[in-house]
Chains A and B, each alone.
Chain A
């Protein structure tokens, strides 16, 4: 992704940030205006190309830039509100989108003006995403296959986080039911304001509704909003999914970052709840969290050195296991207080914070960590087959036309 990793180094970036800040006083500039200007200066995501919010610098220099802006008290783009946009849609658009789409979509995506959601999962297609049934049919393309014309989309998506906030969606739909399932899928950018899009909240075990059901009825998508070739959607989706797993599991973290820190603080603050058994579990998990943090750090160093990080898939697996074990421990540590819950009111939150609210919420929300973005079972399959090279299980669904598969 980096066009010329040596062109812009840390010193040059510091210089450019300083120059930018001199011209745009963080205190005196309107927030959006500031963010747009930061994008235009190539200081948004420095590893992106020039003209698209970046400078073609190494990705590892991003934290430095973010830290410089934060130190100057500059507004940020509130990345937690648009995790899917920043973590998944953007890299996919960058890798597979037309120049026109990149110009139109990436800037408001980065500034947070336009939130994104992911229309992948369906009631009949979760882990087996390639089984999806949402259809995209060409309306009246000049050459009859939709190219250059408009696609009409019908179907139902489910578990769609942030759909109620989203201006755009990344969408995969079936364009050829006669092909085996992986081959008849095409990838689109979908306008969530289209009249055929209906979003209904879906309440979850925490009481609130982060995710939604999305009904697509005669949704019209111009062919120019297609990412990758017709029938190549599965391959394009791999870019998204790999980035999703990195986004969920692999962020930089200090020692005692995340749930480990929450539980450690709870331990320090509540001597009355301490028992030998809880302490034994706490220390085991603390060590595992630290080992996992170091593994993530090592992966980052490997990527920075230009190596490959097959370890990526493992980070999310370990993260899910640990966050569940730690948040469960925290509830127990609270004793009688753990019997209470802060609030069951149905709400539609505008961002998700795994370590937010109270212990009961954290415990329940962590259950989603081993389901969202690929279940832990699927991740183990991926590690076993792609990293360890173990043989796939025999399958009966690979070479059969999608329309003939049992459902």
Chain B
């Protein structure tokens, strides 16, 4: 799949930034954060996550239903009249931060972000799509968007799956995020009239999902094989392309907030550790070599927070330069999260290398997130086109 270099800005200009962005957290967002954090502290301690990730069911269905349905987190970005809670991607981003902080094994990104955003792009008058969106928003249905998780916004519409006249789908899609937890798959496919988005029951005939061991222990991927699987059309050529693009853009923007939360946890945990650990007769955190590294990391996290908030705000308000804000946030936050997780392992010393300590959950999530929805380099290449800085 190739990335197209966005629409070029007129030569000699960068797209001006939206000036009225709110980069802070509202009171409502703070309250939401507190509820999600309390739930995760109660239901998702690291010991439980570690125990679960070696079992057959890496995601936690009970936690998922408490978060998605009881707390209503899955429907935050969906308007009330379409079965959601009528908040926005800003609030959803706060949930993503908290999920990043706890490396929680729930299919939130796959279902409440990628699938929900794709369904929001479908015609609300199409009953099939409307019902599915309501199910996803209420947290009763977990869906997954059947695209390769490394796909970046701006990618060509995938053509690996074909739909026949009767809506039977055939083809293979690798590395679908949260597919193992999904009841419904949203499959972009080329139908008789062109690009379409189809719903397929994950447990239906002609669908097989292989679940490989994944680098990220807390977010599983699945390889889908579709062999004449029954698909229900959600969006035809008029909307499918835009719906998919919006989903990828939204996913990449929301992922930046997950990366922020993840980096915050790593920084805090590392600071806590180096303050308490004594070697050479003093806390190792009093050695300047470590203090300076952590000060630099802190500054990265400060900038990551601003970039992630900017992307969330741009998506929430449908800002015309949302693609720039997302490319900035995703390319920046992805590297910050990896850096934070790597420092976390290193500054914990030997204990950071153990299976028992949770640092590796974050390292694995951070490294997988760096590839997810476009590597930083891919986002920078796209940005170059968007802001008029061509490579040659």
Contacts and interface: CB of A to CB of B under 8 A. Distances in A.
A389 B327 CA distance: 33
Nearest to B271: A388
Given A287-B328, A298-B309, A391 B383 contact: no
A200 interface: no
Contact of A384 (B14, B22, B295): B295
A31 B332 CA distance: 46
Nearest to A282: B389
B-side interface size class: 35 or more
Contact of B303 (A264, A286, A318): A318
Given A290-B307, A305-B24, A383-B299, A393 B391 contact: no
A317 B298 CA distance: 11
Contacts of B305: 295, 298
Interface in A163-194: none
Contacts of B384: 279, 283
Interface residues of A, number: 50
Given A295-B305, A298-B306, A388-B294, A394 B391 contact: no
A290 B18 CA distance: 12
Contacts of B296: 380
Interface string B212-253: 000000000000000000000000000000000000000000
Interface stretch (A213-221, A226-234, A267-275): A267-275
Contact of A391 (B14, B275, B310): B275
Contacts of A271: 392
Contacts of A283: 380-381, 383-384, 389
B298 A264 contact: no
B38 interface: no
Q: For B303, B304, B381, B391, which residue has the most chain A Cβ atoms within 10 angstroms? A: B303
Contact of A314 (B292, B298, B377): B298
Interface of B: 11-12, 14-17, 21-24, 271, 274-275, 282-283, 285-288, 290-292, 294-296, 298-299, 302-307, 309-310, 327-329, 331-332, 377, 380-381, 383-384, 387-392
18 contacts: A255-B14, A256-B14, A268-B12, A271-B392, A280-B377, A282-B389, A286-B389, A287-B383, A290-B17, A291-B304, A292-B303, A294-B306, A295-B303, A314-B299, A380-B291, A384-B295, A393-B288, A394-B286
Given A286-B389, A383-B299, 17 more contacts: A274-B392, A279-B389, A283-B389, A286-B383, A291-B328, A295-B302, A302-B24, A305-B24, A311-B302, A318-B303, A379-B295, A380-B296, A383-B298, A388-B295, A389-B275, A390-B274, A390-B290
Sorted nearest first, the 8 A-B pairs with minimum C-beta distance are: A384-B291, A294-B306, A255-B17, A380-B295, A383-B295, A283-B380, A291-B303, A298-B23
